[in-house]
Structure 1
Amino acid sequence: MKQARVLTETEFKRLLAVVAQMKHAGRNRLALMLSHLAGLRVGEIAALTVRDVVDGDGKVREQLRLRAEITKGGHARTVFLNERLRREIERYRTDWPEGGNDDAPLLMTQKRTAFSPNTLCQLMAQLYRLAGLDGATSHSGRRWFITKLAHSGVSPKVIMTLAGHRNLTTTQRYIDVRDDMMKAAVDLL
């Protein structure tokens, strides 16, 4: 089975530039950022509510708790939101509905309803296609997240836990290796 393409930094910037020119740019950018910067699956992103990312005082959370019913393995997990992702969420808040309900979906379709995982998957595929990124799918961000952590020297156990995997071999299948990475590795010697 062919895996989703992992974007280079240049390709990721190009993707964001293409998204910035589109209708619903803020929503689409946040969906991609949740995938790339938190490693969330498309179904997890689609299921997020405002309450999941903003606390009772209106502050963007530093971590969110994914409920068991929205995760692939059926196990709740904590997702840590780095400063860059928290800024993205804060930036997107200007697009939230007036008098927004805390239980409202974080990302809404143009019909103001929650995304289904399938519809969000199709949207992401369209965004990658418009940016000319053949082979990229809604899983590309998750693979990017795991690969980036692995190549930054993060412990495999930590990466496995952040990804919500139960088995290290599953996590290892997500890690992309390219020639430039191998060259950088041997240049360390």
Structure 2
Amino acid sequence: MNMALVMGSMQITNRLDLEDTKTKQIILGCYVSAQLLVLAISYIIQRSIQSKKDTTVLKYMDQPKPMSGEQPKLITTTNMAYDLEQNAQAQKQAMIGLGLMVFLHFQFGVIRPLVVQSILPVKNALQSKFAQVHLFGKPAEGDLRRPWKADNPFAALTGAQEEQSEAAEKAAIKKAEKAAEKAGKSESKKDL
């Protein structure tokens, strides 16, 4: 879908007179409006998360960055805190993208990517998992179950592996909890 939108928007830009000042202003206006819409969607989602006050405990294994050599850590939080964190990351990404595109436009006169970036961020904001749960009211089940993982374009081919990874994650959580429990007991023995 993203590729179709990119190709379609490129066809649109091929038909526009990108040397015309008025066309440039319209494209820039559409881009800024789209970015403001993305931030407004994010703000609405944030308010929705805060109003629900979902304090259900959420435990998951935080996977370290590839090649960092770190071990996965057990994270214990609430659904509300997790959702707010995910929404904040989306806001940060939107601001970075906005800053980058504004820099490229005013420094180098880049116009074509503004057309694509007027469409994709809005689509992505509306299709995000936290938007599905908090904006459209879908239950946090199945693909929308927390913790949310990045969409894998090959997930349909590896459905069985995903079920195995969920079982492996549950086992890893139990193992990390037991290790933390043992460490807590040994600390309390040292204090005595």
TM-score between both structures, scaled by the size of structure 2: 0.28
Structure of larger gyration radius: 2
Going by fraction, where is helix more abundant, 1 or 2?
A: 2
TM-score between both structures, scaled by the size of structure 1: 0.29
